């Protein structure tokens, strides 16, 4: 590396010298021949995945680092285009039956794994059964809930039930090597989004039953890249998978993934040209924006996520469960525009609704706005509804201690205090303890966030706020909303679904079960020589969906 850097400096020097002599020279040579030739750049992308990925088993992965790697190592039936429209992946096409309950995927021909074996429909059958099998205990098994037999398997007890028989009845089949059929228990229009997930990629049984199958020497990839090095806790190297034919051949020869745990060190590595894509810790945002060079390399964009505070509606005697006016008051009292500037360093935008911009079904409506007078009126109404005074309110706001939420909570406390003269007591807990407290007995007001698994409103409504959702920590439950969501789920096309989802969202927002604060934003640094990077609002790491097709322009280092 030293050598590389010295060589880089020498090359740079030579180029400068050459340029100087060319300028001062009197000869009138044709410019073409005197242009210093820069060798074509090595097509290598260097990124940071922030730490050791917990797993590279596609079925088991649930976290962003693993997914960042798996997006290049695997390829699902359907994929996205740059605007997150669904496009064919390993499947060339798919048909949905009249009743919406059968989806037949037709695989592209001549698909191969990195080991040269053909990708056959049976591998999907195996992979999907492996995902739902309770003995696998995969974190994302619930995405199979809509498949015939799926919900039974989710609830099965392997020590009691005959799992093998249940798996036989599971609604996936491969009539031939290129046809994969999924039978759904009910029409679920969004289901094709499930087929874009890394957990639904094809897997060879012979591979996953190998001891240590996720290690580099054993890894069998279905994606555009293959795994050539996994030095635990140090680095991962992917190289182009020459057997891959499901799409345009990867333009990168190699992706080097570092595991830099410390965000400051990661930014440092970017600044010393050891990374091509850099993330910026919040305390460095201002510096980067002011830096004449770095500020040129900033890539901003939206991310499909929200930062929110929920109200405790689980406790029927709690003030927020009893009074909609109180919830409204506490929402209207927050000046979120200012909050973004003050507490989020100006990065991101106010979330005025649950479904974030960039997602189908997004409504450009400001459901609740900052309105101090209204808030105070609602507060008074709420108190008289409950027959109490402000002094009777003993409220707690909970957040997890470990990552920069104090200033947000403080901001909100301040606003409530000015608006109502009430002091909301902040309580912070360590992450694990915090989560377990939320599922048992949430704080009156509690902080959480939500990011998209797939770009469909179902993921922000049904999965987050429906009565039965496990992620509905506040315990909000409105039968009407659930009915609308169920109705939307059986509609075949997005156009038919969206009005229903909109109606559902309007109802939810009217009930004010949570204060939506901010939609996520990306603030990434991209080296100028990184070309054809395609960021989408679905990425948790910028450009991860389309890493393989990045090109590296010639540059001096």
Partner 1 sequence: MGAYLIRRVLWIIPVLFVVSIITFSLMHAVPGGPWSKEKKLPPSVIEHLDQKYNLDEPVFIQYLNWVGPLQFDEGALQRDEADNLVFGGLLAGDLGPSYKYLDRSVNDIVADGIWVTVQLGLMSFILSVIVGIPLGVIAALRHNGIPDYAATFVSIIGIATPTFVASILLLVVFSIALGWFQPNSLDWRTDPSSWVLPVIALSLFPIAQIARYTRASMLEVTRRDYVRTAHSKGVKEGSVVVVHMIRNALIPVVTILGPLLAFLITGSFITEFIFSVPGIGRYYVTSIGQRDYGVIMAMTMLYAAAIAIMNLVVDVLYAYIDPRIRYS
Which residues make up the interface to partner 1 (CB under 8 A)? Answer: 1-2, 5, 48, 52, 54-57, 60, 62, 134-139, 141-142, 154-155, 157-159, 212, 214-215, 231-235, 256, 258-262, 264-266, 268-269, 271-272, 274, 402, 430-437, 439, 448-451, 453, 470-471
The closest alpha carbon to 496, from 79, 100, 94, belongs to 100
- What is the rounded CA–CA span in Å between residue 159 and residue 259? 39
- What is the rounded CA–CA span in Å between residue 224 and residue 114? 9
- What is the rounded CA–CA span in Å between residue 429 and residue 434? 5
- Shorter beta-carbon distance to partner 1: residue 380 or 557: 557
- Shorter beta-carbon distance to partner 1: residue 60 or 329: 60
Q: How far is the CB of 86 from partner 1 (least distance, A)?
A: 22
Take residue 254 and report the two structure tokens written for it.
């190699």
- Shorter beta-carbon distance to partner 1: residue 195 or 448: 448
Take residue 9 and report the two structure tokens written for it.
């400096």
Q: How far is the CB of 311 from partner 1 (least distance, A)?
A: 18
Phi/psi for 119 (5° steps) reads -90, 120
- Shorter beta-carbon distance to partner 1: residue 240 or 259: 259
Residue 239 CA: distances (Å) to CA of 1, 72, 224, 248, 544? 20, 10, 9, 15, 15
- What is the rounded CA–CA span in Å between residue 439 and residue 473? 6
- Shorter beta-carbon distance to partner 1: residue 57 or 177: 57
Q: How far is the CB of 262 from partner 1 (least distance, A)?
A: 4
- Shorter beta-carbon distance to partner 1: residue 9 or 372: 9
- Shorter beta-carbon distance to partner 1: residue 126 or 420: 126
- What is the rounded CA–CA span in Å between residue 545 and residue 68? 8
- Shorter beta-carbon distance to partner 1: residue 198 or 434: 434
CB within 8 A of 321, min separation 6: which ones? Answer: 311, 312, 313, 314, 315
CB within 8 A of 397, min separation 6: which ones? Answer: 309, 409, 412, 413, 424, 425, 426, 427, 443, 444, 445, 446, 447
- What is the rounded CA–CA span in Å between residue 270 and residue 349? 26
- Across 207-246, the runs of DSSP E, i.e. the strands, are 225-231, 235-240
Question: Could you tell me where the DSSP H helices lie in 344-425?
Answer: 372-386, 406-420
- Shorter beta-carbon distance to partner 1: residue 74 or 415: 74
Q: What is residue 421's DSSP assignment?
A: -
Q: How far is the CB of 471 from partner 1 (least distance, A)?
A: 5
- Shorter beta-carbon distance to partner 1: residue 5 or 366: 5
Q: How far is the CB of 430 from partner 1 (least distance, A)?
A: 7
Take residue 481 and report the two structure tokens written for it.
């909303």
Q: How far is the CB of 235 from partner 1 (least distance, A)?
A: 5
DSSP secondary structure letters along 328-349? HHHHHT--HHHHHHHHSTT-SE
- Shorter beta-carbon distance to partner 1: residue 82 or 231: 231
**3-state secondary structure (DSSP) of residue 307:** strand
**3-state secondary structure (DSSP) of residue 485:** helix
Take residue 489 and report the two structure tokens written for it.
């789920």
Q: How far is the CB of 141 from partner 1 (least distance, A)?
A: 5
Are 12 and 514 contacting, i.e. CB atoms less than 8 angstroms apart?
A: no
Q: How far is the CB of 216 from partner 1 (least distance, A)?
A: 12
- Shorter beta-carbon distance to partner 1: residue 423 or 439: 439
Are 224 and 244 contacting, i.e. CB atoms less than 8 angstroms apart?
A: yes
Unique residue bearing structure tokens 């997914």: 67
- Shorter beta-carbon distance to partner 1: residue 10 or 492: 10
Q: How far is the CB of 314 from partner 1 (least distance, A)?
A: 14
Q: How far is the CB of 462 from partner 1 (least distance, A)?
A: 13
Q: How far is the CB of 68 from partner 1 (least distance, A)?
A: 16
The closest alpha carbon to 48, from 72, 69, 62, belongs to 69
Q: How far is the CB of 56 from partner 1 (least distance, A)?
A: 7
Q: How far is the CB of 260 from partner 1 (least distance, A)?
A: 5
- What is the rounded CA–CA span in Å between residue 523 and residue 514? 26
**For the chain, counts of helices (H) and of strands (E):** 19, 19
């Amino acid at each position: 590396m030293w050598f590389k850097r010295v060589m880089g400096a020498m090359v740079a020097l030579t180029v400068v010298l050459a340029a100087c002599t060319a300028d001062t020279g009197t000869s009138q040579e044709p410019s073409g021949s005197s242009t210093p030739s820069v060798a074509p750049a090595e097509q290598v992308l260097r990124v940071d995945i922030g730490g050791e990925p917990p797993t590279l088993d596609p079925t088991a992965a649930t976290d962003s680092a693993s997914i960042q790697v798996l997006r290049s190592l695997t390829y699902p039936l359907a994929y996205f285009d740059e605007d997150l429209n669904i496009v064919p992946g390993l499947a060339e096409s798919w048909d949905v039956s009249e009743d919406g309950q059968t989806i037949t995927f037709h695989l592209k021909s001549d698909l191969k794994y990195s080991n040269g074996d053909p990708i056959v429909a049976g591998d999907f059958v195996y992979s999907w059964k492996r995902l739902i099998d309770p003995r696998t205990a995969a974190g994302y098994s619930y995405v199979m809930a809509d498949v015939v037999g799926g919900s039974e398997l989710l609830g099965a007890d392997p020590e009691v039930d005959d799992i093998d028989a249940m798996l036989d009845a599971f609604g996936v089949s491969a009539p031939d090597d290129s046809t994969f059929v999924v039978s759904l228990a009910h029409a679920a229009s969004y289901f094709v989004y499930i087929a874009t997930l890394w957990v639904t990629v094809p897997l060879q049984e012979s591979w996953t039953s190998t001891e240590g199958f996720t290690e580099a020497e054993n890894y069998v990839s279905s994606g555009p890249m293959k795994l050539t090095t996994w030095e635990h806790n140090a680095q991962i190297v992917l190289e182009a998978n020459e057997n891959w034919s499901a799409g345009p051949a990867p333009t990168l020869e190699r992706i080097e993934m570092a595991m830099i745990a410390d965000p400051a060190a990661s930014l440092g590595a970017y600044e010393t040209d050891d990374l091509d894509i850099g993330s910026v810790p919040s305390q460095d945002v201002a510096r980067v924006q002011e830096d004449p060079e770095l500020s040129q390399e900033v890539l901003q964009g939206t991310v499909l996520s929200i930062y929110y505070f929920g109200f405790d509606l689980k406790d029927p005697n709690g003030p927020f469960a009893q009074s909609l006016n109180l919830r409204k008051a506490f929402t209207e009292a927050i000046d979120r525009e200012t909050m973004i500037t003050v507490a989020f360093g100006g990065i991101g935008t106010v979330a005025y609704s649950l479904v974030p911009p960039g997602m189908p079904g997004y409504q450009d409506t400001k459901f609740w706005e900052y309105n101090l007078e209204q808030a105070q009126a609602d507060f008074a109404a709420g108190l008289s509804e409950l027959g109490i005074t402000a002094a009777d309110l003993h409220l707690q706001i909970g957040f997890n201690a470990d990552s920069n939420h104090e200033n947000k909570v403080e901001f909100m406390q301040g606003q409530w205090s000015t608006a109502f003269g009430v002091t909301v007591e902040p309580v912070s807990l360590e992450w694990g303890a915090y989560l377990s407290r939320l599922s048992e007995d949430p704080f009156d007001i509690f902080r959480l966030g939500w990011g998209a698994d797939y770009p469909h409103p179902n993921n922000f409504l049904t999965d987050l706020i429906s009565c039965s959702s496990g992620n509905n920590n506040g315990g909000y439950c409105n039968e009407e909303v659930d009915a609308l969501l169920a109705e939307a789920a059986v509609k075949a096309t997005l156009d038919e679904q969206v009005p229903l989802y909109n109606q559902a969202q309007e109802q939810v927002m009217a009930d004010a079960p949570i204060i939506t604060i901010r939609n996520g934003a990306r603030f990434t640094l991209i080296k100028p020589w990184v070309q054809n990077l395609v960021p989408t609002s679905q990425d948790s790491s910028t450009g991860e969906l389309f890493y393989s097709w990045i090109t590296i322009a010639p540059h001096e280092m």
